[in-house]
Structure formats: structure tokens, C-alpha cells
Amino acid sequence: MNDDLWLDRPLVLPWLKGRWTDLLELKSQNRLPHALLINGPEGIGKACFALALANFMLCRDPQGTSACGQCRSCELTGSGGHPDLYQLCPDEPGKPIKIDQIRELTKFIYSTAQQGGYRVVIIDPADSMNINAANALLKMLEEPGENTLLMLLTHRLGQMLPTIKSRCQRVDLPPAEVEMATKWVATQLEVESDEAAQLLVIAHNSPLQALAYKQDDLLGLRAKVLKGLADILKNRSSSIEVAQQLFKEDLELILGWMYSWMVDIARLSENEADPEILRHSDARNMLLALARKVSSRKLYEYADLVQEERKGLMFRRNPNKQLLMEKLLSEWYSLPRG
Ligand SMILES: [Zn+2]
């Protein structure tokens, strides 16, 4: 991994530079709104972007379009302890932001003495506020007080209350442009651009997710899953043996891959389309062979089954993962066998 990584310092990622310049332009004209709704796909760097803007607003000696990185204020932001920066997120990932948390924020906004500059709030993800929390935030959005900037981050705009949306200025961050993202991922990970491109495909074009995939060796896991599936079809291993190898891995992720492979080949066998449409080049040969042998109806049925089990994993507390994999893989074995 490149030592110069973004993680400990808020950097604006290359594909977000255009929006960055726009906001700084507004700031220089004293027209920066007091509430921004920062919207964009998952894993493109929204949190870094917001933190970089907070850093810039709080910096005592900004240099052109970036914070100085040296002043006391930059130091405090970097260590996560700036008294005028308030970052609000759920107590646990995936849980809602509750009204008590917004009450704490209210105290910060209305009763804390400022250190002489801006006060900045980042709410991430803002769509996780429950309805009471969102309503409690409304008043603050109307009258946040002087020199205050609130940034609400979301990748699920549809789940934001209209009343919240209408009180913020929307900043739409674009998805990462493929060529730029490939180059960036390759540089960060110090890998060839082919590998970077493949990581990006399985990460649905999210550069940050691509980095996480590499760190967790998810390409390795993916190769293991593909080999297991091929071994079952070719009778080299039984579905029970492969289930045994896989059930302790991240099944939500594996089932997500299986689902997208099935949808890919169902599309292919339905349209007799150009195999080039297959996005998952690593699984290509097996998927093409299945597309020739299995009807699209059966493939969709299997995709539905996978998806249903995946939902079960997300919502049920404690499914028997080994049995679940055995079931899915024995159906997998039967797929081309009628
Ligand atoms: Zn500074």
C-alpha cells in the first residue's frame, strides 16, 4: 500500500476536484450556503471530501485551494479533536442516528463558545437519521447561527425527508471516471492497471471499496469461490465439500457475487448477446458454458433463490451457514443437469 494514503489526512480525490473548486469559489464570494447536502455513490470519497472542506474552513492560514496542514487548527482537525468540528454518525454502523444525538449536536451549535472562526458539522450518513432525529434537525437547518456550516452526507437521497432536502443546498458528487479511478487505484495499491480495473469492476466502480477489497484479499476469495463452483459443475468436488470450504467466509458478499453472475448470464442466454457484455471477466468461461446449457428462466430462478438467502442472512439473526451453502451449492450442481 502506498504510504501516502488518504486515510489519515482528508484529501480531495481526483474525480471530485471540480466540485471542490466550485465550493471554494462560493466561499471566496462569501456565498457558501450554511447547509450542504453532499450526495453521491458509495465509496467515491464523500467523507474525505467533507472532512477536507471542514479542514479548509477551520484552517487559520489556507494556502490557495487547500488547508495549510501546519497550523494548530489543522493539527487538531488531523487528530480528530478540533473543538469546532462535530462529526455525527450512528452509534453502530447500520443503526439509526437518534434524537438524543441531535440534542447533543444542538448543545454544540447553540451553547459552545467558538474558537473564533467557523463551526463545522458533518452528519454521515444523514439518511440514517430516524424521523424524530430528522425533525429535530430541521430547526437547526433554518437557523444555524453565524459562521456555521452543516454538511449532510448521503448515497440514498430517496430516503431523506423532503423538508430536510429543501433546507440544504445539494452538492452532487459525480461517480469516479473509470480511467481516472483505475489509475488512482493502481497508484494507491502499487499494482498493474489490469488488476486495478478488475478490482473496480467487482467493487462496482467504487475506488475506496476497491482498496478495501485488495486489503482483504477479496480477489483471492473470489478466485476460491469461482474454483469451487467450477469444481462442482465438473464433478471434481461435491457441493458439500465446497460448502465446507466456504461457509465461514463473508457469505453476504459471496452471495452478492453469485447473484450478479447469474443475472449476467441470464441476460446473455436470453439475448444471445455479445459475450463482451459480461462484466465479470474472471468468471467468463464458466458463465459462457452455463449460458449455453441452461435456460434463462432457470438462471433467474436460481438468482432469486440466491437473493432470497442473501436477504435471510442480512435480517435473520443466526442462520445455519453451512446448511445454507450446502443447499445453494447442491442446486448449483443441478442447474445444467435439468
Ligand atoms: Zn492550517
> What per-residue confidence (pLDDT) applies to 277?
53
List of the chain residues with pLDDT < 70: 1-10, 112-116, 270-282, 316-317, 338
Burial 294-318 (b: 16+ CB within 10 A, else e): bebebbeebbebbbebbeebeeeee
> What per-residue confidence (pLDDT) applies to 110?
82
Neighbours of 165 (CB within 10 A): 15
Distances (CA, A) of 303 to 228, 234, 235: 18, 20, 22
> What per-residue confidence (pLDDT) applies to 7?
40
Q: For residue 331, report the distance from its CA to the centre of ligand 1, in Å.
A: 59
Half-sphere exposure of 133 (CA within 13 A, CB side): 21
> What per-residue confidence (pLDDT) applies to 139?
87
User: Which of helix, strand or coil describes residue 156?
Assistant: coil
Tell me whether the omega of the peptide bond preceding residue 125 falls within 30 degrees of 0, making it cis. yes
Q: For residue 44, report the distance from its CA to the centre of ligand 1, in Å.
A: 25
Q: For residue 71, report the distance from its CA to the centre of ligand 1, in Å.
A: 4
Residue at grid coordinates 488518504: 6
Q: Which helix (H) or strand (E) holds 27?
A: helix 17-28
> What per-residue confidence (pLDDT) applies to 4?
38
d(CA 53, CA 122): 10
Q: For residue 70, report the distance from its CA to the centre of ligand 1, in Å.
A: 5
Q: For residue 55, report the distance from its CA to the centre of ligand 1, in Å.
A: 8
Q: For residue 24, report the distance from its CA to the centre of ligand 1, in Å.
A: 16
Q: For residue 49, report the distance from its CA to the centre of ligand 1, in Å.
A: 16
- Three cell numbers written together for 196: 486495478
Q: For residue 48, report the distance from its CA to the centre of ligand 1, in Å.
A: 17
Q: For residue 60, report the distance from its CA to the centre of ligand 1, in Å.
A: 5
Average pLDDT, the chain: 87
Q: For residue 287, report the distance from its CA to the centre of ligand 1, in Å.
A: 53
Biggest CA-to-CA distance, the chain: 73
Q: For residue 110, report the distance from its CA to the centre of ligand 1, in Å.
A: 25
Q: For residue 77, report the distance from its CA to the centre of ligand 1, in Å.
A: 9
Q: For residue 66, report the distance from its CA to the centre of ligand 1, in Å.
A: 9
Q: For residue 69, report the distance from its CA to the centre of ligand 1, in Å.
A: 5
**178-205 pLDDT per residue, tens:** 999 999 999 999 999 998 998 898 888 8
pTM exceeds 0.75, yes or no: no
Domains in the chain: ranges and CATH: 6-175 (3.40.50.300), 216-337 (1.20.272.10)
Q: For residue 123, report the distance from its CA to the centre of ligand 1, in Å.
A: 23
Q: For residue 9, report the distance from its CA to the centre of ligand 1, in Å.
A: 12
**4-45 pLDDT per residue, tens:** 333 445 678 999 999 999 999 999 999 999 999 999 998 899
Q: For residue 211, report the distance from its CA to the centre of ligand 1, in Å.
A: 28
Whether 77 contacts 85, CB under 8 Å: yes
Q: Which residues contact 232 (CB under 8 A, 6 or more apart)?
A: 238, 239, 242, 329, 332, 333
Q: For residue 121, report the distance from its CA to the centre of ligand 1, in Å.
A: 18
- Three cell numbers written together for 18: 471540480
Q: For residue 19, report the distance from its CA to the centre of ligand 1, in Å.
A: 21
Q: For residue 20, report the distance from its CA to the centre of ligand 1, in Å.
A: 17
Whether 40 contacts 173, CB under 8 Å: yes
Q: For residue 145, report the distance from its CA to the centre of ligand 1, in Å.
A: 24
Q: For residue 169, report the distance from its CA to the centre of ligand 1, in Å.
A: 26
Q: For residue 147, report the distance from its CA to the centre of ligand 1, in Å.
A: 18
d(CA 182, CA 159): 30
Residue at grid coordinates 454544540: 108
